[in-house]
Structure 1
Amino acid sequence: MVDYRSKLITVDQALDLVRDGDNITVGLGANEPPAFLSSLHRIADRVSDVTITDCLPTVMGEYLSEENIRSSFSIDCWFSTPPLRKLAGTGRVSFIPNHLHLAGTKRNAHKRSRMLISLASMPEADGRTRFAAGNTYEEMIGRDADLRIVEISPNAPHCYGQNYLDWDSIDYVIESDGWPGTIPVVAPNDRDLVIGRYIADLVDDGDCIQVGIGGIPNAVCGYLMEKKDLGIHTEMMTTGIMDLMKAGVVTGARKQVDVGKAVFAFALGSAEMYEFIDRNPDCWTGRGEEVNNPWLIARNDNQVSINTSIEIDLTGQCCSESIGTQQISGTGGQSDTATGAQRSRNGRSIIALYSTVEKTDRVTGEKQVISKIVPTLRPGAAVSLSRNDVDWVVTEYGAVSLRGTTIAERVERLISIAHPDFREQLHAEAVRCGYVSVAPSVARAAVVGR
């Protein structure tokens, strides 16, 4: 067993290393160092202009209070979450537009991190420790960082794959009993189940799957229990994927690359899922710049990407991360996985969304139902997936393929899966925009294009 005690420091000693103006990058999601971040607020009175660069934060430490953010810390994030959105008015939280497979590469080119700090598994006998729940950008950022610190915990999962660090590359070690951050499993509602059924019908036995989290993805995973020999090549290992693996639905036997392995860049989910991936030879963590590289995704035939969106316009532009100018999440790997799947032999990319959403007026408090299929995106909306890259679109009113279609054909197909109450209005707007000049057929679509 490696003797790491020569590099061992306390949390307080790690905090003493933080200087004014530092850029500290922490691990993604479940790789956030809980002991370090839970104590970071204790130095708020002695430091200034310290930037924390993160993605999908799960440790809600006091450093994220508005007072501490305004006085000492700022946040640069690859993916916004509710606690970060609450701090938007401070001017001290800013989003980094990115495709996830290039997050580390582009960040290093722009702003080098002085510190990388990540949760890691307990040391191995051969001189390695492993990032606890993935290696999306951690290793890449660490290559250029002045200091590389790991917070090791017996409660961190020990995943196999390209997520290891040689002890020679680690500067300091913090011991803790911290747990990786979890997220709740969202139970599918009635609309999720209808959409999930449409999506599952587009998946064949032996396909290789990428799927995320939320009500719709969880509904999809439930219906995929009917399939056989699915493979996994996904940005994110989820509790839903774990359930499919436990049920024997996922075997990876028909994959062309990494046969038999469920490949992911990071894991984020339930405590049960972290226990499942711990020392599981069927689970394999890859570097984010490889797992999410569209050209490498395409090496497996029949790759199917399943993502969700906030709104889509009648030409196919998908906004999946903002409400107008308000950043609420991030591009993440949506473009990576969608374009990678379409490069795959017989691959498919699926974007799912509800046909409507209930909106509350900020001034009057009145509630209004609006269509999520729109003539044009809201002013300032981020285009997460170009209309050039959209493939299948699914709502609770059906599934349509936009691959190779004209604008006029897209108008017809997208209106066919809009809520019936908005179809006439959408057609009128399509005429006004010059997309079409005659009424499209707006009968319920079910599945169009396969």
Structure 2
Amino acid sequence: MASRTLSQFLGKLRHVRKNDLLYNQQRSFYLYSPEPFHPIPGKEPKWMSAEEAVSTVTSGHKIFIHGCAATPVDLVNALAKHGKDSKIKDVEVIHIHTEGPATYTKPEYEGIFRSNSLFIGGNCREAVNSGRADFTPIFLSEIPHLFRRKIINLDVAIIQVSPPDKHGFCSLGPSVDCTRAAIQNAKHIIAQVNPKMPRTFGDGILHMSHCDAMVESEADLPELPNHKPSAVEEKIGSLIADNLVADGATLQMGIGSIPDAVLAKLKDHRDLGVHSEMFSDGVVDLVECGAITNAKKTVQTGKIVGGFVLGTRRLYDFLDDNPFVVMCDISFVNYSPVIAQNPKVTAINSCIEVDLTGQVVSDSIGTRMYSGVGGQVDFIRGAAIGHDGLGKPILAMPSETARGESKIVPFLKEGGGVVTTRAHVHYIVTEYGIAHLFGKNLRQRAYELIRIAHPDHRQALEEAAFERLRCMPSP
């Protein structure tokens, strides 16, 4: 019976195009299961050069690229060269934030590759805003659904892993996020094997037999240098740390100088926990001074939970073989009902612009796309619905732009994308104070927001609020 079933299966494969035949032959060992963890008996990846590994990519393919600190830069550069040399076309490159030059987005690669950012990094911003690349708005928690529900079907996943251990297991290191779902979906997996990748615990373990090609490459991981916060950021950090973060709180921090400024002010807190889509070096300082213990957490008690990290080598060394940290699938980390189980969830994120009713723009400056939806709403909602009723969803920003324009505005810029709605917003913080908007009507919201605006803009905002609301802002 088994041999007849196999014969029927192989017969069907004769009608599949050549490249698909190659992929299916290589991965037919476990077509009944997309799980990348278990060893596949009798299968080993082929070790080869980066150029040979990416040569399997051809016209019309959909490619996933591992992101953030795990971006496989050598393979990405080889892919760009292969695209130009082999004259392939219409290859879609799908990714979240990546590091490195993103060569495939440059003007000379138009028609060969088209990037599709699920979150826009600085290396893709110009291409997106010039029309050479795409952006897909999506909650970070839901990106894995694109792959698991077969909304996007990947031909190739290009990833970076730690070297196999004695049992053949590798780690996705500092970036598990949506990558685990991508490798479950992809027909062909190419792995850049880097001894400088930290080996992390959690969902990012895969067995080498699930990879089709492996490429040795010892290279430093991309780093995000530590920047000294400005006086404004220091003030915002102090306001949040002193007034909104309680002992025993479970922290989520977005990326940027303001969340880092908050962390720097928390060294006298106790029994803090971390359940965050991402984190950076500031968490290491709080672990070393004893402020972070994770002792009060409900989900993964005693452990830091994250989806990806980006920081310096010090952070990557902290992650390496450290059971105190678990890196998990982002559909778990950012799932609001999971977040809500932890105590005193305190979600600290940055934003670009807020109007007088509390609508928050976080992904664009007018029509110019800047970043993405990310996990802001996932955690804003998770904190708001916390089981203990003590969650604090916080959005923070300087009161002015570098040009001296108010970030609190009567009306959002034309084309600005509302990421966090006026119904989701709770706390807005600038260097001038904290506005608590939850449960307040539009008149009261305008009053609270004008109160934390830069003094140079308060009169104009009050006049604009009267024009918009037909009444004076008041508490």
Structure 2 contact 141–332 (Cα < 8 Å) conserved = yes
- CA drift at 1:61: 4.8
**Is the aligned partner of 1:354 residue 2:398?**
yes
Give the corresponding residue for 1:445: none
TM-score by length of 2: 0.87
**Runs ≥4 residues deviating over 4 A:** 2-6
Structure 2 contact 60–91 (Cα < 8 Å) conserved = yes
Give the corresponding residue for 2:32: none
Structure 1 contact 186–214 (Cα < 8 Å) conserved = no
* Deviations, residues 359-393 of structure 1 (Å, cap 9, x unaligned): 3xxxxxxxxx2110011211111111111111111
Structure 1 contact 134–264 (Cα < 8 Å) conserved = no
1:245 match: secondary structure: helix
Amino acid at match of 2:425: V
Give the corresponding residue for 1:74: 114
**Is the aligned partner of 1:276 residue 2:310?**
no
Give the corresponding residue for 1:228: 270
Structure 1 contact 45–72 (Cα < 8 Å) conserved = no
Amino acid at match of 1:170: C
2:226 match: secondary structure: coil
- CA drift at 1:175: 1.5
**Is the aligned partner of 1:17 residue 2:56?**
yes
Aligned pairs for 1:105-120 (under 5 A) are 105-106=145-146, 109-120=150-161
Q: Distance in 2 between matches of 1:212 and 1:402?
A: 21
Q: Distance in 1 between matches of 2:67 and 2:127?
A: 19
Q: Aligned match of 1:418 in 434, 439, 453?
A: 453
From the superposition, tell whether residues 34 and 439 of structure 1 become closer, same or farther in structure 2 (CA, over 3 Å): closer
Amino acid at match of 2:361: C
Structure 2: 5+ residue runs without aligned partners?
Answer: 1-38
Structure 1 contact 38–59 (Cα < 8 Å) conserved = no
Aligned pairs for 1:229-378 (under 5 A) are 229-344=271-386, 345=388, 346-359=390-403, 369-378=404-413
- CA drift at 1:401: 1.0
- CA drift at 1:439: 4.7
**Would you say how many aligned residue pairs link Structure 1 and Structure 2?**
429
**Is the aligned partner of 1:30 residue 2:72?**
no
Q: Distance in 1 between matches of 2:329 and 2:406?
A: 38
1:31 match: secondary structure: coil
**Is the aligned partner of 1:161 residue 2:202?**
yes
Q: Distance in 1 between matches of 2:45 and 2:263?
A: 46
Structure 1: 5+ residue runs without aligned partners?
Answer: 360-368, 442-450
From the superposition, tell whether residues 260 and 439 of structure 1 become closer, same or farther in structure 2 (CA, over 3 Å): closer
Q: Distance in 2 between matches of 1:395 and 1:8?
A: 53
Q: Distance in 1 between matches of 2:282 and 2:225?
A: 12
Structure 1 contact 73–92 (Cα < 8 Å) conserved = no
2:429 match: secondary structure: strand
From the superposition, tell whether residues 199 and 24 of structure 1 become closer, same or farther in structure 2 (CA, over 3 Å): same
RMSD, aligned α-carbons? 1.7
Q: Distance in 2 between matches of 1:168 and 1:62?
A: 30
- CA drift at 1:205: 0.9
Q: Distance in 2 between matches of 1:268 and 1:206?
A: 25
Q: Distance in 2 between matches of 1:409 and 1:121?
A: 53
Give the corresponding residue for 1:183: 224
TM-score by length of 1: 0.91
Amino acid at match of 1:310: I
* Deviations, residues 317-343 of structure 1 (Å, cap 9, x unaligned): 110110011111111110011111111
* Deviations, residues 283-305 of structure 1 (Å, cap 9, x unaligned): 11111000011111111011100
